[in-house]
Amino acid sequence: MEALHYILVLVSVLLLLYQLTVPKRVERKNKLPRPPSLPIIGHFLYIKMLFKLPLHEVLNDLCNKYGPLFLLHLGSRQVLVLSTRADIEECFSKNDIIFSNRPLLPSRKGLEYNFTGLGAPYGHHWRNLRRFFAVEVFSPKRLQMSSNIRTEEIRHMTKYLFKRSSQGVVTVELSSFLYMLDFNVIMKMVAGNRCFEENEIDTDRGRDKLAELKQWFSPFEPLALGDYFPFLRWLTRHGAEKKIHNKHKKRDAFLQAMLDGHQNLNKTPSVSSGGSQTDQSIIDVMLKLKEFEPQFYIDEVMKGNMAAMLIAGTHTTVLTMQAAILQLMSNPENLRKARDEIDKVVGQSRLLNEEDLPNLPFLHCIINETLRLDVVSTLPPRESSEDCSIGGYHIPHGTQLMVNIYSLHRDPELWTEPNKFMPERFQEIEKEKGGFKFVPFGFGRRICPGSTLANRLVALSLGTLIQCFEWEEAETDEKSQDVAKHKLMKMIFRPREALTHVLAQL
Ligand code: HEM
């Protein structure tokens, strides 16, 4: 009897806490479809499914049962899922500013420097950050200036592959190889120096360093229950939040040391880390701007910008290149077509460079088709700053938005044979790219600012590998058809006979 009494008290307290912490719900009048849920935890059990199934499969399953627009309750937060072109278009043409915030999860406050980086709420500070990136990093002039970095680093890795093949060792672990390449490129843009020297690639030392960088600059964090159940924060402070805090401490020390290195160099009158206009790193540019706007370019903001480049610029581009390579391995006629195109445009007496890229439409079709099928399954979450309406439903402020890109990019109403890898479809679709049909870089004010850099980096790296090497998958113990399981795939890159004289000069 006494036990029952305690249980009743506990349940009443939890229900009371739930009522106090849950924000105003979507109005019942015009009720949004939602899967059945449990009191307090809402739809959290679906998160458990994510340990077994990828996110797009869970969302697909829910779409089939409840329609393309539905609501999930994750503890005190509610998440609206959109999957069709019409709903996405309505949302972003009517409510773009309202959905221009990212959720401010308490567990990320330290990691995101009190939300002063690009995760900042939509407003004056965030606009200044975007302006900095648009003008000083991604403008056509700046991208032209940094083009020698990409060329140099891609040649550095090409030379490594060629050298290894002449020593008889031709197998590389694909994902690590691509991560090392991209960390080298982005780090050189950010700080002026590469992360991995030739003698570190494919060594234990190199792999340990890569594991550390991947962990510090991963876009994924452990799930902190306190973000969804505020009354449980005291508990998660010792679990997920502690892990996030430890990561922050290490990453912050690494970024601060890089920044200090440049600040100290700049203080020495005879030495300047600025270099010539063309090899100025992003840190150097920020330090220069700091002389005029010291209140804006504080250390936290500069470290946030450095982290944004390293997080957003590496993982996505590696995934794209890796997925494109896997698709081309399974579709050799497309690989042949891309190689013929490069041979025709570039010839066999020099290596591909960035100026050639606009003349390689089929290579871009391959990248676009890979982006359609394999890279982003949902957009990073947004959160509404005001009440609004979508599809005739009233959506209160504070609702998180999850855009189901996976379904949009495979909608049979929009794509013929949607699951098939058909790069040539982009020869036609190019013209209607803007119409909320193909959106691998997102949309609206929060659209990816790095898409041009991403396209150049992926096209030059992939194009160089296609131009210079014959590809083969190395024998491994485990074979799998699933792209995700190819994370540790080993590849053999054999220099093409016709290109050996060019490669030998690297
Ligand atoms: C193939 C490669 C890439 C893909 C598929 C990709 C995709 C995306 C997507 C989907 C978003 C969210 C947009 C939205 O919410 O509507 C995003 C945001 C962002 N991306 Fe990329 N991206 C890529 C490469 C890059 C690169 C190379 C950089 C920079 C080095 C970069 C920097 C960023 C930043 C800073 C944001 C956050 C913008 C904000 O919240 O204001 N991305 N990206």
- What does the pLDDT look like over 188-197, one tens digit per residue? 999 999 999 9
Distance 448 CA to ligand 1 centre (A): 4
Q: Whose CA is nearest to atom 36 of ligand 1?
A: 448
Q: Which residues line ligand 1 (CB under 6 A)?
A: 118, 186, 308-309, 312-313, 316-317, 320, 371, 375-376, 379-380, 440-443, 446-450, 453-454, 458
Nearest residue by C-alpha to atom 30 in ligand 1: 313
Which residue's entry shows tokens 């939890």? 14
pLDDT at residue 36, rounded to an integer: 86
Report CA dihedral (226, 311, 317, 436) to the nearest 10 degrees: 60
| pLDDT band (50, 70, 90) for residue 376 | very high
Residue 179 within any structural domain of the chain: yes
Distance CA 50, CA 378 (A): 14
Q: What is the pLDDT of residues 295-349, one digit of tens each?
A: 999 999 999 999 999 999 999 999 999 999 999 999 999 999 999 999 999 999 9
Tally of CB atoms within 10 A around 36: 6
Write the pLDDT tens digit of every residue in 1-33.
565 566 555 655 555 555 555 544 444 456 889
Choice between 39 and 476, residue whose per-residue pLDDT is larger: 39
Asked if the structure places residue 34 within a domain, the reply is: yes
Residues 226, 448, 327, 408, Cα dihedral to 10°: 70
CA of 171 from ligand 1 middle (Å) equals 31
Residue 9 domain flag: no
Q: Any idea which of 58-72, 115-129, 433-447, 468-482 has the lowest mean pLDDT?
A: 468-482
Q: How far is residue 453 from each of residues 54, 235, 436, 456, measured CA to CA in Å?
A: 28, 42, 21, 5
Q: Whose CA is nearest to atom 9 of ligand 1?
A: 441
Distance 14 CA to ligand 1 centre (A): 39
* Atom nearest to 189 CA in ligand 1: 30
For residues 460-474, b (16+ Cβ closer than 10 Å) or e, as one string? bbbbbbbbbbebebe
Cα separation, 77 vs 94, in Å, equals 23
Give the pLDDT score at 3.
58
User: For residue 506, what are the contacts with CB-CB under 8 A and spacing of at least 6?
Assistant: 155, 158, 159, 162
What is residue 273's predicted lDDT score, i.e. its pLDDT?
45
pLDDT of residue 132: 97
- Position 294 confidence tier, pLDDT thresholds 50, 70, 90: very high
Q: Is 72 left (phi over 0), alpha (psi -120 to 50) or beta?
A: beta
- Split at pLDDT 50, 70, 90, the class of 40 is confident
For ligand 1, the distance from its centroid to the CA atom of residue 380, given in whole angstroms, is 9
> From the CA of 392, how far away is ligand 1's center (Å)?
30
Query: What is the mean pLDDT of the segment spanning 218-230?
Result: 90
What pLDDT does 58 receive?
87
Residue 80 is part of a domain; what is its CATH number?
1.10.630.10
How far apart, in whole angstroms, are the C-alpha atoms of residue 222 and residue 380? Answer: 15
Q: Is residue 382 part of a domain?
A: yes
Under a CB-based contact definition with an 8 Å cutoff, are residues 41 and 4 in contact? no
What is residue 16's predicted lDDT score, i.e. its pLDDT?
52
Q: Closest residue (by CA) to atom 43 of ligand 1?
A: 448
Measured from the CA of 130, which atom of ligand 1 is nearest? 41
Residue 378 falls within a domain, yes or no? Answer: yes
CA 379–ligand 1 middle distance (angstroms)? 10
pLDDT in tens, 387-412: 999 999 999 999 999 999 999 999 99
In a domain, 291, yes or no: yes
Between the CA of 307 and the centroid of ligand 1 the distance, in Å, is 13
Give the domain extent around 462: 23-503
* pLDDT reading at 423 higher than 70: yes
Count: domains in the chain: 1
Name the band, by pLDDT with cuts 50, 70 and 90, for residue 278: low
| Atom number, ligand 1, closest to the C-alpha of residue 371 | 5
Q: Which stretches does DSSP call E strand in 167-325?
A: 171-173
